Chains A and B, each alone.
Chain A
Amino acid sequence: MAKHATPQLDQLESGPWPSFVSDIKQEAAMRAKNPKGLDYQIPQDCPDDLLGVLELSYAEKETHWKHGGIVGVFGYGGGVIGRYCDQPEQFSGVAHFHTMRVAQPSGKYYNTKFLRDLCDIWDLRGSGLTNMHGSTGDIVLLGTQTHQLEEIFFELTHNMHVDLGGSGSNLRTPEACLGQSRCEYACYNTQDMCYQLTQDYQDELHRPAFPYKFKFKFDGCPNGCVCAMARSDFAVVGTWKDDIKIDQDKVKAYVGGAIRPNAGAHAGRDWGKFDIQAEMIDRCPSRCMKWDGAKLSIKTADCVRCMHCINTMPQALRIGDERGASILVGAKAPVVDGAQMGSLLMPFISCEAPYDDVKEVIEKIWDWWMEEGKNRERVGETMKRLSFQKLLEVTKIPATACHVKEPRSNPYIFFKEEEVPGGWQRDLVAYRKRHQR
């Protein structure tokens, strides 16, 4: 028997898509039954009360979670997000309902032992509800009380050898695509770079020292499956420099219809026979390809590595051998100053462990941003305010045409004094000898 009537939420149980309401109800029933005879460390009926408070939100169309609340584990400034219900008498089970972020393995591969151990902790000490995963990639344990935070942290670190993730004005938990583990497009080992940098920057991850959040994301190729260029302050996107490798026999197999284009991604509709000219050559953004009826050729100097041809013929075309990544800086969602896409800072780095070249750039950016950034200003906004030139200056990267889509269309150029012969100090008396007042 449900604790609260939820007539509106009940309507979210119908329809084919997995119902989170059915799932929370299933958890509520499981906790009521308590088959393992657990001595639950937070209210047994918290999933019921979560449904109750959500039903209230559905009636009033307003949230019932209070603003903020500073809680955490000793020595960390991030990883726990305090959350309190603003109707604690009505929904005592979720009166305190804090979130814990747990660092996920890069690529989000798990074995069932790890997950079951985590579930056991969360059964005993939490609500039994999670986010798999939060938007930044962490495993999110959804709802516990203050007195359990250290206990959970102790169990996570001692028994599961896993740490909390980031929250607040610090490095957020870095995230990578699955990369070389199961993708032929990966131009570098995204998971390894993600793991190494996460380990190297644990202090920045757990102890907020930045003006605002800072995110790394690692995409193995320009397809961008973890959206690094759109969502991270520091995006490492795999690319290559040399020729796309071509298997001409396989190209013919695609043209002849023996292999389905685009790995079969369009199989749900009859798009007609594959037309290499229309579907690949003419859609190439830099027009760098030619098909003469028997041979495909690519002018590498004109290629912008957009991935379309490789995606279209994964069995015939392959990324080049001179592999590495481009680094783009400053992406963010709208708040505070409008959305920003990452801007290209380093056209190419080689991505070899221990990634000292990458870390050098990161640390220079941090030093500058911590000095100059305003409270709640993402690095993209600092770049906008203080100029891309300033970013080049602090990272010691020489300007190239790769850095712009087009050169500036206004001549309001800031020169440095040392760039102008004779400097800025001039002799007015000498000037007046040449020009009457």
Chain B
Amino acid sequence: MVFISSGYNPEKPMENRITDIGPHKYDEYFPPVIKKNLGKWLYHEILEPGVLMHVAENGDKVYTVRVGGTRTMSITHIRELCDIADQYCGGYLRWTTRNNVEFMVTNEAAMKKLRDELDSRKFEGGSYKFPVGGTGAGISNMVHTQGWVHCHTPATDASGPVKCVMDAIFDDFKNMRMPAPVRIALACCINMCGAVHCSDIGLVGIHRKPPMIDHQWADQLCEIPLAVAACPTAAVRPIKVEYNGEKVNSIAVKQERCMYCGNCYTMCPALPISDGEGDGIAIMVGGKVSNRISMPKFSKVVVGYIPNEPPRWPTLTNTVKHIVEVYAANARKYERLGDWAERIGWESFFKLTGLEFTHHLIDDFRDPAYYTWRQSTQFKF
């Protein structure tokens, strides 16, 4: 390949350098109807799954068609989205926080054409490219992290399990039969870039083996005190060991204290933690972010470990589908998954779902643990 210069001159890096200009201003890419009615929206309706209608004070209407997107997205795919936006939406489109893509038009007939067009396109492999849905009391797109596609600390893949779970609940992406919105998220390790900790259903990659210690490299790759300080359970300490006849500075891990968070690995690459047999996924449920009716709450672990089962992740997928179905059959209208579990009690949650309650589900991490033990005789047999 021939190197193509952008104009950047490495000899004079500061010449004409532009820095700290930030993002484009938010209203630069507003469709005209959005620009005109900023702050003047009166109400909205969900006309059908994936289709919203917002009505402004002056009677203007904007119809939004929402489609599911994969977070990992090629430029070929983005260019196809652009073609559709050019053809139907005056060249404007937007993404949502949950990796959906939204197209906006100003009349119902255009909306229907656009919706049908989006729903008609498929990849060569057979899956939809732009499935319409993800609104209201249904299941929206899963937010997720990088997983094995691009991350250095994952305990599981992200895009793969998400594809399989979304396949299993696809009907509920395109329908609104749930008691309340169900938000599912996946984080490929407990660092939780995907903020699974407040989702109705959170899938989180976990390790189950303490890190290995690469004595040959520890002192060269790491600031050992940082690795020691990074451990939340004080399981990591500095030591001197014999390696190849030489005394070297290294690290020791008190294994029974380790809860495999991977923090030490983040600080020190000489402590690799990932393991094909040990790693897997925990399922958390009942979290939410909205202040609606009840206060925001954390998700709770209801399945401590599911093995990684690529490529179709059957145990994970079936368990999520099962939890969704039991919730849908039992909760009241407007009741989020966590509110339902709290109303009926967690004893009943495990009874109804048939999930096994094991000692792994009793919190044993510092203070937060104590606040979750039951200090009452009010419980259910």
Contacts and interface: CB of A to CB of B under 8 A. Distances in A.
B26 A192 contact: yes
Nearest to B125: A13
Contact of B91 (A16, A113, A263): A113
B76 A26 contact: yes
Given A58-B148, A106-B23, A375-B226, A11 B289 contact: no
Contacts of B178: 268
B265 A67 contact: yes
B159 A17 contact: no
Nearest to B129: A18
Contacts of A205: 22
B275 A62 contact: yes
Interface string A265-281: 11111010000000100
A315 interface: yes
B170 A16 contact: yes
Contacts of A183: 41, 44, 54
Interface in A154-193: 154-155, 157-158, 161-163, 173, 175-178, 180-184, 186, 189, 191-192
Contact of A132 (B17, B71, B125): B71
B150 A307 contact: no
B310 interface: yes
Contacts of A150: 6, 8, 10, 13
A65 B14 CA distance: 33
Interface in B244-292: 261, 263, 265, 267, 269, 274-277, 279, 287, 289-292
Contact of B26 (A58, A105, A337): A105
Given A23-B73, A103-B22, A108 B95 contact: yes
Contacts of B97: 137, 175, 177, 225-227
B148 A64 contact: yes
Interface string A14-34: 111111111111110010000
Nearest to A44: B1
Contact of B128 (A18, A203, A230): A18
A142 B294 CA distance: 39
A112 B91 contact: yes
Interface stretch (A123-131, A346-354, A355-363, A391-399): A123-131
A21 B68 CA distance: 15
Given A108-B94, A184-B44, A262-B136, A230 B22 contact: no
User: Size range of the interface on B?
Assistant: 35 or more
User: Size range of the interface on A?
Assistant: 35 or more
Contacts of B289: 224, 227, 229-231
Contacts of A314: 43-45
Contacts of A143: 150
A109 B71 contact: no
A231 B195 contact: yes
A3 interface: no
A283 B334 contact: yes
Secondary structure at chain B's binding surface: helix, strand, loop or mixed?
Answer: loop
Nearest to B261: A335
A111 B27 CA distance: 11
Given A57-B157, A103-B22, A226-B97, A124 B152 contact: no
Interface string B341-374: 0000000000000000000000001101000000
A336 B232 contact: yes
Nearest to B104: A182
Nearest to B143: A135
Contact of B23 (A105, A192, A230): A105
Given A112-B85, A122-B75, A341 B298 contact: yes
B4 interface: yes
Nearest to A264: B46
Contact of B291 (A23, A306, A312): A306
B111 interface: no
A191 B27 contact: yes
Nearest to A313: B43
A315 B43 contact: yes
A18 B167 contact: no
14 contacts: A23-B123, A61-B276, A115-B79, A150-B13, A180-B41, A206-B19, A224-B296, A227-B198, A231-B289, A306-B291, A315-B43, A333-B193, A334-B192, A335-B261
Given A23-B74, A58-B160, A130-B74, 14 more contacts: A15-B164, A16-B167, A16-B170, A61-B277, A62-B276, A74-B17, A183-B41, A189-B38, A195-B22, A226-B97, A231-B198, A264-B176, A265-B46, A333-B195
Interface of B: 1-8, 10, 13-14, 16-31, 34, 38-39, 41-49, 54, 62, 64, 68-79, 81-82, 85-86, 91-97, 99, 101, 123-131, 135-138, 143, 145-154, 157, 159-160, 163-164, 166-167, 170, 173, 175-178, 181, 187, 190-198, 226, 229-230, 232, 261, 263, 265, 267, 269, 274-277, 279, 287, 289-294, 296-298, 308, 310-312, 333-334, 365-366, 368
